[in-house]
Chains A and B, each alone.
Chain A
Amino acid sequence: AQSVTQLGSHVSVSEGALVLLRCNYSSSVPPYLFWYVQYPNQGLQLLLKYTSAATLVKGINGFEAEFKKSETSFHLTKPSAHMSDAAEYFCAVSEGAAGNKLTFGGGTRVLVKP
């Protein structure tokens, strides 16, 4: 069975500061890892994904994430927060053999202060 843990249900950052969202996963097979963003009253939008190519993955809106197998982590970062980054962020892992069923973490809500 796979699982995802996101440390911190809420994160508050100042505009222009670094955004760091933590994600640790558990998987018995090589994982496929994803970060999604959810704005209020909307569905989820894919930010980036790791599929066993480069360990540093660049996504949309200036976000990037680094896959660290030894730490079973896939933390999301953005060097400089913008007000439009206020949203909820979900880390997810996909089962290798069972199709693209996703197991999501509990989410981290980001608040950006001016």
Chain B
Amino acid sequence: ETGVTQSPTHLIKTRGQQVTLRCSSQSGHNTVSWYQQALGQGPQFIFQYYREEENGRGNFPPRFSGLQFPNYSSELNVNALELDDSALYLCASSLVRGSDSPLHFGNGTRLTVT
């Protein structure tokens, strides 16, 4: 079975620009979550999608938005990029929407905002 894949692996953007990050969930998984991991810190929950609808959101502004597609792949969009958005963005999928359902993480997209 294929794992969680993210693209691109690295990205450099300029402050004020917009960026789209992509994620393919592990086969059979219908829930996807996105996390932001700043350098030297633990990941922070951005939001989760279940059956194409947002199902929980962390403390991130509206310029962070997402989509989940019928094939359960997902996108994270960030508008009006700020320097502090520089981080590793992790996508994670799981089989069911449950508290004890383990997440399977991708290797992340490293975003640098200059």
Residues of A within 8 A of B (CB): 4, 32, 34, 36, 41-46, 49, 51, 90, 92, 94-107
Contacts and interface: CB of A to CB of B under 8 A. Distances in A.
A102 B102 CA distance: 10
Contacts, number: 76
Nearest to B43: A104
A44 B99 contact: no
Contacts of B48: 99-101
Interface stretch (B12-20, B61-69, B74-82, B103-111): B103-111
B106 A94 contact: no
A32 B92 CA distance: 17
B42 A99 contact: no
A42 B107 CA distance: 4
A100 B33 CA distance: 9
Contacts of A92: 42
B30 interface: no
Interface string B1-22: 0001000000000000000000
